[in-house]
């Protein structure tokens, strides 16, 4: 690979980063309020999780079908869960900034983080409401009876509550159950990638299976009859045609038959003026 080619490629990358940064900064200058609110709410969510830790009381582990089907990893292999979450988190963050370098641009980084933070805030607000409404004994090892981290001592000052120790304050929390914060992040990240990513294997496989097994949805603009099978539509059209004939006074047996009209007890038939006197009893 020649130095000229490397210099040319580097120049293209620099120009692309510069142009993308200029465009993103322009969007950021208009959309920064919601981004800032979402970041601030992440801190509020951390404070809420730390606050419920003060209320946590260890107790017997509750029965859970998930743990019966998938046994726990064990205390010595607890790092696997955090490692997997960290990998997914960092991969997603790097992916959201790939338009600065790669040419396959499907979104603006500022706008996609606005949507991600909006979903995170809504989900975390529901999570805060649930774990303050129902406080369950934590099943993790550091939340069980006998662990020094199962209960937090009463705070001595406001700074002790407002300052969140990272990462121990996030990893070793207790009482913030009902649904997991890690799962919220993973679901939001995965769904966002499935919607805006360029390679979506899982969703493509599901769509292929559904399209293979189920028929395509009909277009409702043509009315209800377009949604019916062919035999039903034929039968329905025949019924409509027969009803039209009856309304017009025509039947299938005699198409040239004219409607009858009754006037003052006398009948006029087939357009003739021959009158038939009604019989009175």
- Closest CA relative to residue 50, chosen from 151, 164, 207: 164
147 Cβ neighbours under 8 A, 6+ residues apart: 58, 141
Cβ 97 vs Cβ 199: under 8 Å: no
Cβ 101 vs Cβ 13: under 8 Å: yes
pTM for this structure?
A: 0.66
Share of the chain above pLDDT 70, in %: 68
d(CA 124, CA 131): 10
CA distances (Å), 175 to each of 53, 110, 259, in order?
Answer: 6, 34, 83
- Residue by residue, pLDDT tens for the chain (281 residues) are 566 666 777 778 788 888 888 989 999 999 899 999 999 999 999 999 988 999 998 988 888 887 788 777 777 887 888 889 999 999 999 999 988 887 777 788 999 999 999 999 999 999 999 999 988 888 888 888 888 888 888 888 888 888 887 777 778 888 888 888 889 999 999 999 988 887 665 556 666 666 666 666 555 555 545 544 555 445 556 666 766 665 565 544 544 444 444 444 444 444 444 444 444 44
d(CA 105, CA 56): 46
- The token pair that represents 30 in the structure block: 């208009």
CA distances (Å), 139 to each of 7, 59, 82, 173, 200, in order?
Answer: 56, 9, 16, 11, 35
Cβ 137 vs Cβ 58: under 8 Å: yes
d(CA 146, CA 153): 14
d(CA 204, CA 193): 13
d(CA 130, CA 178): 7
- The token pair that represents 101 in the structure block: 């370098």
Instruction: Find the angle CA(97)-CA(101)-CA(103) to the nearest 5 degrees.
Output: 105
- The token pair that represents 173 in the structure block: 């929390």
Tens digits of residue pLDDT in 110-163 = 999 999 999 999 999 999 999 999 888 888 888 888 888 888 888 888 888 888
Strands (E), 43-169: none
> What is the reported pLDDT for 112?
93
């Amino acid at each position: 690979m020649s130095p000229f080619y490397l210099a040319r490629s580097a120049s293209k990358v620099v120009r692309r980063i510069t142009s993308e940064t200029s465009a993103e900064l322009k969007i950021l200058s208009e959309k920064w309020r919601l981004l800032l609110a979402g970041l601030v709410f992440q801190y509020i969510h951390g404070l809420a999780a730390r606050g419920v830790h003060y209320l946590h009381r260890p107790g017997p582990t509750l029965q859970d079908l998930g743990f019966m089907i998938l046994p726990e990893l064990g205390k010595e292999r607890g790092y696997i869960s955090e490692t997997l979450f960290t990998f997914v988190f960092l991969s997603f963050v790097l992916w959201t900034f790939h338009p600065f370098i790669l040419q396959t641009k499907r979104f603006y980084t500022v706008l996609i983080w606005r949507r991600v933070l909006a979903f995170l805030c809504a989900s975390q607000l529901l999570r805060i409401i649930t774990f303050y409404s129902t406080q369950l004994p934590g099943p993790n090892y550091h939340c069980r009876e006998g662990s020094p981290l199962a209960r937090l001592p009463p705070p001595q000052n406001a700074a002790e509550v407002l300052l969140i120790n990272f990462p121990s304050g996030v990893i070793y929390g207790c009482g913030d159950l009902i649904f997991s914060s890690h799962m919220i992040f993973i679901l939001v990240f995965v769904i966002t990638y499935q919607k805006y990513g360029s390679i979506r294997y899982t969703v493509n496989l599901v769509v292929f299976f559904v399209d293979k097994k189920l028929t395509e949805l009909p277009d409702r603009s043509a009315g209800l009859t377009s949604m019916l099978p062919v035999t039903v539509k034929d039968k329905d059209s025949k019924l409509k045609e027969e009803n039209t004939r009856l309304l017009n006074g025509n039947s299938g047996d005699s198409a040239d038959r004219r409607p009858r009209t009754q006037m003052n007890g006398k009948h006029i038939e087939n357009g003739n003026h021959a009158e038939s006197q009604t019989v009175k009893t």
